[in-house]
A and B are shown apart, each in its own frame.
Chain A
Amino acid sequence: MDMFLSALTFAVSPISLCINLAGVILGILFGALPGLNGVVGVALLLPLTYNMNAAHGLMMLAGLYMGSTYGGSISAILLNCPGTGEAACTALNGNPLARTGRAREALSYSVLASGFGGLFGVIVMGLFTPILSKMALKFGPPELFLVCMAGLTVVGSLMGKSIGKGFFSVAFGLLLSIVGMDTITCNYRFTFGNLHLQSGLSLIPVSVGFFAIAEMLNLVCSAEEVSSVSEHKGNFKTLDALRDTLRRWKIALKSAVIGTIIGILPGTGGAIASFIAYGEAKRTSKEADLFGKGSADGIIAPESANNAAVGGSFVPLLSLGIPGSATSAIIFGALTVHGLIPGPKLFAEHGDIVYALTLGLFLSTILMMVVGLGGVSIFSKILNIRTRYIVPAVLAFSVIGAYSARNSMFDVLIAVIFGIIGLLFKRNQIPIAPSVLGMILGNMAEQNLRRSLTVAHAKSLPIVSYILLRPISLVILVLLALLIYGNMKTALRAKNEE
């Protein structure tokens, strides 16, 4: 208890709050700018923390991680350019809502849901880390393969009107994930002798092209003077958004649970969490017909899930030293620089730092909500800026973002190419989100299936029984069946409407 109190005093001290706030604001910026994201931000700030007090350094990085997860939704809602993969689903409903003049409403839903999910994830992390880390270990290659399959079923909720085009898009994404070194055998696939393709297509330039550049090209072609509706309808109040979000607590809570669990699983992250939460929300939402046209549920579900995944990803990181996401993998580096070795001993020997980090992350979430809500009316002014100013600015940031992830001009070229492909997709009403989903999950699904095959072969077990006859596999399988049923229903309903 003493330790908790001293950690609390530490976390609310002015200097800690300032560092925390700096991390959160930087995070929101990194998240909102296309091409930059939490991974890039945390990597850039990491050397800065070498000479800081360990708890302060971790607090700043964790705050940045939390802020960036929310920040992606700002550009997703206002410009239809999700700054991160985590915000891809948010754009599907946030942008249509903004286009009808309800941008401030959409932004408020997003920040409130992010805050709710974030707090949920942190509370779970603070209270149940030792128990949940045991659960994380139960997920081996077969379970992770089935989780990927569950993720892929969500494509049914993303495909819009045409089933054929939806499947084309997800297949395209899966194909992209094959390019590069086959990580199981170290052989190269589809690299066409190009050195830069050996490490595969990186998700950042592809999604920058697909989302940001394609949207800007589309704007230019449609020759609208202002990117969206310039008037804001009605006198919207933050309190209304809060009441509205609270009314939808079931969706927010379910998505937060999904997000936390996905966050705990090794190698996953907020993007997968938000896709699965989105699919699940569409299956059960009362306003399922509004999905894709500006549903509040469709904003709340992915935003709650991706911020909940932040707290979730710290669970295996702190208790086992296994990072749950790409961003927490870099935070792992920050821990070790200060001589903090994650694992059971961390809690015994450095409990003060664990408490300070958890409380810091809790405060980061609250600071994020304050900054986010305060910024709603400022952010929404972006919509009043003329297209001719928006387009060059977004394109410039896209190029910088695509370059900075790997310091590679080749990645800029990839972003431009995928910008053009994205434009073709948009012009032919092919949904883009399934491609991104396929690209994120393709690699993971393939690797885990092949690891399962390798182990099953070594143990001379038939592959089907090796994958299925495990307790957690059976649970996921039931969920998988439900998801397939639900998504088929939505896909077919969309077909009938056509």
Chain B
Amino acid sequence: MMRKKISLALVCLTIGLLSGCSQKTAEAPKETSAKTQETTRESAATYPEKNINFIIPYSAGGGTDSLMRLMTAAMEPDLGKSLVVSNKPGGLGQVGLTELASAKPDGYTIGALSNLDHILVLLTGENVSYDYDSFEYVGAINTTVNVLMANDQNGFKSLDDLVAYAKENPGSVTVAISGKTHIAEVALFEQAAGIDVTTVMQEGGGESLNAVLGGHVDCAVLDKKFVAQVEGQAVTPLASFGGERLSVIGEIPTMKEQGYDVATETYRVITAPKGTPEEVLNRLEASIKSVTETDEFQEKMENMSEIYRFLGRSEVKERLDNDYQAMVTLLKENPNAFE
């Protein structure tokens, strides 16, 4: 009896230690990156020689996951090897990106991220062990915007109605949001319009939709894919946060058109750890471009109500730099935007 107990304790201890160890080894190899770069440079011409791990820092079934799984499946025949997807959700992508940042930069561990989540973790996250320059940004294949919608019960037929009401009743307009990106977007809008609204955080788009359709909140920030869902119901889309009108929601004016200087968009960026050889990055960029250009792929994206927009390495870096600056400015002017 006693012996069994002891051996049991040992088993538990070993499992515990093992799990601890494997975590350490995963985080270690940053310093050796220069060396591996040398050796991988020679083999870059034949890249890839083995299967590639693809880290998605969000849970299975979400927006980033669905799009990236579609893309990785299309890339497999082109690269001749498998892309093995693993979801590592947590902390707005921080858990998965921590692992990606410390992975060996040989092109066999790559991943994806969502632009604003990534920047907001860097600027407002806790215990972030990587920085903006820990990654090589390989490319992006989509763009999407969020839309501000209002329940009809308050008679907000346009953005101006809402702003006028909010100016008279500071803090009394309630806006359902989900995620840090929405906090940033609402804060930018408040700043541009000189108003103060109350945000009500929800677990996801579905809950926000429920809150605004049921009239439990006055407005909601929702992804553009929800626009088709609210058609014919007592909810009016007031404005899109995007810089320009998107064809699928062409009837919805942007914030900018209505005189409020806000322009944000969301796109998923294919990312590799810093130090990945140039040849590998170029090979990946070319592969992404060629497999996503086909009509077949774009039709599948359209079905998922995603909008195709390819950005290569230099373009995606430029976009990210701009987004980063916009968020830095927002935080400078309104340090409490995320409190």
Contacts and interface: CB of A to CB of B under 8 A. Distances in A.
A322 B12 contact: no
A199 B4 CA distance: 36
Contacts of B41: none
A329 B174 contact: no
Contacts of B19: 409-410, 412-413, 416
B206 A345 contact: no
Contacts of A407: 86-88
A406 B303 contact: no
Interface string B224-235: 011011111100
A188 interface: yes
A198 B126 contact: yes
Interface stretch (A116-124, A232-240, A332-340, A368-376): A332-340
Contacts of B216: 140-141, 455
Nearest to B299: A339
A267 B304 CA distance: 23
A340 to B, nearest CB: 9
Given A43-B60, A195-B127, A413 B172 contact: no
Q: Which of A43, A266, A316 has the most CB of B within 10 A?
A: A266
Interface string B307-327: 000000000000000000000
B89 A184 contact: no
A220 B225 CA distance: 53
A337 B88 CA distance: 22
Contacts of A342: 229
Nearest to A265: B210
Contact of B8 (A185, A221, A409): A221
Interface in A412-468: 412-413, 416-417, 419-420, 447, 451, 454-455, 457-460
B61 A186 contact: no
B230 A343 contact: yes
Interface in B1-59: 1, 4-5, 8, 12, 15-16, 19-20, 22-23, 59
Contacts, number: 180
A492 interface: no
A221 B174 contact: no
A339 B338 CA distance: 35
Contacts of A139: 210, 214
A164 B22 CA distance: 40
A52 interface: no
B15 A416 contact: yes
Majority-rule SS of A interface residues: helix
A485 interface: no
Interface residues of B, number: 70
A454 B232 contact: no
A458 B172 contact: yes
**In this complex, which of B16, B214, B231 has the most chain A Cβ atoms within 10 angstroms of its Cβ?**
B214
B225 to A, nearest CB: 7
A323 B90 CA distance: 21
B151 to A, nearest CB: 11
B95 A321 contact: no
A329 B61 contact: yes
Best-surrounded residue of A199, A223, A322, A345 (most CB of chain B within 10 A): A322
B203 A183 contact: yes
Contacts of B88: 406-408
A183 B201 contact: yes
B206 A332 contact: yes
Interface stretch (B66-74, B136-144, B271-279, B284-292): B66-74
B247 to A, nearest CB: 16
A137 interface: yes
A266 B207 contact: yes
B339 interface: yes
A320 interface: yes
Contacts of A188: 126
B259 to A, nearest CB: 25
Contacts of B236: none
Contact of B89 (A138, A199, A338, A343): A199
A266 B61 contact: no
Given A186-B183, A341-B305, 9 more contacts: A181-B91, A186-B180, A193-B127, A322-B209, A333-B66, A339-B304, A406-B87, A407-B86, A413-B19
Enumerate the 5 nearest inter-chain pairs by beta-carbon distance, A residue then B residue, closest first: A140-B216, A199-B90, A43-B60, A137-B214, A339-B303
Interface of B: 1, 4-5, 8, 12, 15-16, 19-20, 22-23, 59-62, 66, 69-70, 73, 86-91, 94-95, 98, 124, 126-127, 129, 171-174, 180, 183, 198-204, 206-207, 209-211, 213-217, 225-226, 228-233, 300, 302-305, 338-339
Interface of A: 42-44, 46-47, 50, 136-141, 181, 183-186, 188, 191, 193, 195-196, 198-199, 217, 220-221, 223, 266-267, 316, 320-323, 329-330, 332-333, 336-339, 341-345, 399, 406-410, 412-413, 416-417, 419-420, 447, 451, 454-455, 457-460
